Amino acid sequence: MCKIISIINNKGGVAKTTSTGIIAQILAYLEKKVLVVDLDESANLSMMLNAYTEDSEAVINNMIPAEKAHVAELFRYRYRDTENVSNLIYPTKIKNIDIMPSSERHGQSQLYIQNNTGNNNIILKRALNAIKDQYDYILIDNAPAKDILTVNSMFASDLILIPVRLEEYSYKGLQETLNTVAYIKEEHDLENPKIGGVFMTQAETNTIIYKDLSTLYNDTLGDLFCRTCIRKDIKICEINKSFQPVLSYCPDSNAVYDYFKLIEELDILDDSGTAALKSCFGGE
Ligand SMILES: Nc1ncnc2c1ncn2[C@@H]1O[C@H](COP(=O)(O)OP(=O)(O)OP(=O)(O)O)[C@@H](O)[C@H]1O
Ligand SMILES: [Mg+2]
């Protein structure tokens, strides 16, 4: 059964896109069929997976239709049938990963949503329902925003993962995200999404701030706070610049190793995935 996972934090630069891209690549490497959805108009995930097409001014101003329909059309036309939703999805160069890309014109999606009087929270959920049987995992990358698109992502998901970067104000962004999820679940009487975990990214594990803040997070969040943290690793910046598939470009990266460990800790794999993951660690 398909698991739909959103990577969310209202704060920018905490590694949402990097985490979505690398987790997708590891799951695909473990022979799982993965769809990634880019919900951010800055389209960094689409760039990372070589699926980005820049919008011309004429497309942005609605003078001509875009040649490649994507997530912006999903929200504009509120597609919910398999054929129309499938037309927004493209294969990537990485085996087992498809993408529903984004680009600048997705910035107008909020306007289209607001101008409609229907149920604006579940546009994405309804669309993904039409195609989710084709995938083991759907990962949704979000913009650093508390808006209707992020709310759509929450409604569509079984699990929320929250990357945090340990710095002074990081707790505020985290708390806002946790509060929004709790509010939506209570207000709409929903069982899902569950918080799959809060994990540290870009961690410099030998610093005092890391030690202090990780103790604070651990004491406050308890089991929600993942023991695995993703270490800061210059190779990650290189991948994001060169748009290389991470497992062929730098399989020996510390951060990639940490993402493997994180997936193990999150317990999101079925038996065959767990066996494949264990064999990556030499049966550890
Ligand atoms: N483990 C890591 N080690 C070193 N650099 C990292 C690591 N993870 C992410 N980065 C870098 O941190 C920056 C922010 O990452 P990313 O774009 O994934 O964050 P984001 O949360 O998606 O940002 P935004 O909110 O703007 O969408 C990028 O330059 C990325 O290359
Ligand atoms: Mg991002």
The answer, yes or no, to whether residue 168 has pLDDT greater than 80, is no
pLDDT at position 212: 87
Cβ atoms within 10 Å of 254's Cβ, excluding its own:
15
Query: Does the C-beta of 44 come closer than 6 Å to ligand 1?
Result: yes
Query: Does the C-beta of 255 come closer than 6 Å to ligand 1?
Result: yes
pLDDT band, very low/low/confident/very high, at 186 (cuts 50, 70, 90): very high
Query: Which candidate, 28, 264, 38, 266, places its Cα nearest to that of 160?
Result: 266
Is the pTM higher than 0.85? The answer reads: yes
Closest residue to atom 7 of ligand 1, CA basis: 202
20-32: b (≥16 Cβ within 10 Å) or e: bbbbbbbbbbbeb
Q: How far is the CA of 237 from the centre of ligand 1 (A)?
A: 8
Counting ligands in written order, the one closest to the CA of 14 is 1
> Which whole number is the average pLDDT over 182-191?
92
Query: Does the C-beta of 232 come closer than 6 Å to ligand 1?
Result: yes
Query: Does the C-beta of 180 come closer than 6 Å to ligand 1?
Result: no
The answer, yes or no, to whether residue 136 has pLDDT greater than 90, is yes
For residues 248 and 95, is the Cβ–Cβ distance under 8 A?
no
- β-partners of residue 199 are 163
Give the model confidence (pLDDT) of 215-259 as tens digits. 989 999 999 999 999 999 998 988 777 777 888 777 788 999 999
Give the model confidence (pLDDT) of 40-66 as tens digits. 999 999 999 999 999 999 999 889 999
Q: What's the full length of the chain, in residues?
A: 284
Report the percentage of the chain scoring pLDDT > 90: 79
The domain that contains 140 carries what CATH number?
3.40.50.300
pLDDT band, very low/low/confident/very high, at 82 (cuts 50, 70, 90): very high
Closest residue to atom 29 of ligand 1, CA basis: 237
Query: Does the C-beta of 38 come closer than 6 Å to ligand 1?
Result: no
Order the strands of the 137-141 sheet from edge to edge: 90-91, 97-100, 34-38, 137-141, 3-7, 159-165, 194-201
Tell me how many degrees the CA angle 51-93-105 measures, rounded to the nearest 5.
Answer: 10
For residue 114, give its domain range. 3-280
Q: Tell me what the pLDDT averaged over the chain comes to.
A: 93
pLDDT band, very low/low/confident/very high, at 158 (cuts 50, 70, 90): very high
Give me the phi and psi of 230, to 5 degrees please: -95, 115
The answer, yes or no, to whether residue 284 has pLDDT greater than 70, is no
Between 1-5, 116-120, 236-240, the lowest mean confidence (pLDDT) is in: 236-240
> Which whole number is the average pLDDT over 29-35?
96
Closest residue to atom 13 of ligand 1, CA basis: 13
pLDDT at position 266: 97
Look up residue 61 and give its amino acid.
Answer: N
The total number of structural domains that make up the chain: 1
